[in-house]
Chains A and B, each alone.
Chain A
Amino acid sequence: MNAAAETTKGQSEDIRPLSAGQFIAAPTPGERARLRGARCRACGETFFPPRRYCAACTSGEMEDIELPSSGSVESFTIVHQQLPGSAMIPPYAIVNVRLGAGPVVQTVLREGHEMLELDDDVALVVETVLNEDSHSYVAFIARRLAGGSKEEGK
């Protein structure tokens, strides 16, 4: 991929995950996030991000799993203060999203944060969060599912 090539949107075609190893397949902005989690073969506990040893039972028998790309908002807070070095411009929400029976993941929700409520269903979506040195850095963010209704599947 040519790192210097720019799209019409001003984004680089060189797309890199902001956090290496977070995705199970190459992330594409705008699409559902396919997150790489880990499941303990010994006790069944699941983790995000993946880890080499189980935090619950210390087993090293871990396997990669693909996590659900949607979940419910366990809690959230609206951040009003700019964090130095952050690409997120307040106000935005930090959300803890419970992925079914799997782990709770934390991310941000930008659009429509003022309508957010506890237990809302949200999708995890790939988005460009930072353009730097002609690279586009992508991460997963949460997006409200319309009307808080249940999603219709992938």
Chain B
Amino acid sequence: MRDVVVLGAGLHRFGRFPDKSLPDLGREAIENALDDSGVPFKDIEVAYVGRVLAGMGAGLSVVSEMGRTGIPVINIEMACGSSTSAFREAYLSVATGVYDTALVVGFEKMQRGLIQIADQKSYQTVMGLAVMPASYALQARRYMADHGATAEMFGQVSVKSHRNGALNPYAQYQTAVTLDDVMNSRSIADPVTLLQCSPTTDGAAAVVICAASKAAQYKSGRLAHVAGWATGSGKYEPTGDSAEGEADTGEIGRLVAMAWERAGLGPEDVDVTQVHDAFAPGEIFSIEGLGLVPVGEGAQAVWDGRTEIDGDIPVNTDGGLLSRGHPIGATGCAMVTEIVRQLTGEAGPRQVKGGDAHVGLIQNAGIGGMNILVLTS
């Protein structure tokens, strides 16, 4: 497999843009990624597109905004993990030598309110079980009893995320909130309150990747390399699992071990991390599953500030899903974008470790499936 670098990344701001079409959102993200990479669109050989709710062929309608060069445009869907799945396919196509340059795009336009995860007439809906935050809430309550954590420790994840979002001009929410704000916001699925839920969002994100051997013609300086990856679909763990929800810590642990083996690195090497905090407890479960802290110590680690930008295990420095926003098809590419900024020393006020960050870890989940990526510089 060839060495592959991320040459450029960019977003259309996340938020609510009722007057903008998907091509409007996607085009701006692609323009920003191409500008950042130095690669003209005519040099892009293939495009992989993560999207969920848009209709047939939506990827082509967005990518062709940049020109009709005849390249393959491949639509990929894995719910909230769609665009890291697209990234992985693009990476493999370049690493195996099929293409030298590839574009990855993720985009979404969403309705307000709880994401509908089951048909209106389905058993899960009629019975009131298809409540998205419920799987996190169920896991959170058990976690509190088993590990002596408090509801405030989950709330603190959201306080941190909003503080980081306030430093990110592309974030949906750019205003800090207090722990009281979080805990006193409306309860959705106890102990998860409204401010511990990621919003529904419109947005787009794009990434340009390239064979490392071809990178010099486009860009010089510090570049982020793809060092490791793993993908899975929620391996069944015999007895002892909860009945519902996205992949649990066991699945994260299984996959991250595969990614570390490919990268030749381990959790002790990580400088900065992006995790799937669709709901606030997610950050705590993820940092434990990834091995950044021992199981049962994640809540205390958040409470102690260890996942803050200036902490020893900074997580979701751009505000995460909670504050940056969660346009489901675009979220994975936004995660990649933030890690690339951190690893190239371009994260501005959000920069970790004084710019001396060289290993970035990404965990992006989508109902049952999960992608892990390790980038290095």
Contacts and interface: CB of A to CB of B under 8 A. Distances in A.
Interface stretch (A5-13, A27-35, A69-77): A69-77
Interface string B172-216: 000000000000001111111000000000000000000000000
B249 interface: no
Contacts of B120: 84-85
Contacts of B192: 77
Interface string B115-139: 0100011010111111101100111
A86 B125 contact: yes
A94 B128 contact: yes
Contact of A94 (B121, B126, B131): B131
Contacts of B142: 74-75, 118
Contacts of A74: 142, 242
A106 B129 contact: yes
Interface string A48-89: 000000011000000000000000001111111101111110
Contacts of B67: none
A78 B190 CA distance: 5
Contacts of A75: 138-139, 141-142, 242
B186 A80 contact: yes
A133 B129 CA distance: 23
Interface string A12-40: 00000011000000000000000000000
A137 B127 CA distance: 11
Contacts, number: 107
A97 to B, nearest CB: 9
Interface centre among B134, B187, B244 (most CB of A within 10 A): B134
User: Could you say which interface size class chain B belongs to?
Assistant: 35 or more
Interface string A118-138: 100000000001100000010
Contacts of A86: 125-128, 130
Interface residues of A, number: 35
A104 B241 contact: yes
A118 B145 contact: yes
Given A86-B125, A104-B242, A80 B187 contact: yes
A140 to B, nearest CB: 9
A100 to B, nearest CB: 11
A29 to B, nearest CB: 15
Given A84-B120, A104-B243, A18 B126 contact: yes
A43 to B, nearest CB: 7
A81 B188 contact: yes
Contacts of A45: 238-239
A62 to B, nearest CB: 14
A94 B139 contact: no
B114 interface: yes
Interface of A: 18-19, 43, 45, 55-56, 74-81, 83-88, 92, 94, 96, 101, 103-108, 118, 129-130, 137, 139
Given A79-B134, A81-B131, 13 more contacts: A56-B236, A78-B189, A79-B131, A80-B187, A80-B190, A83-B114, A85-B125, A85-B126, A94-B138, A104-B241, A118-B142, A118-B145, A137-B126
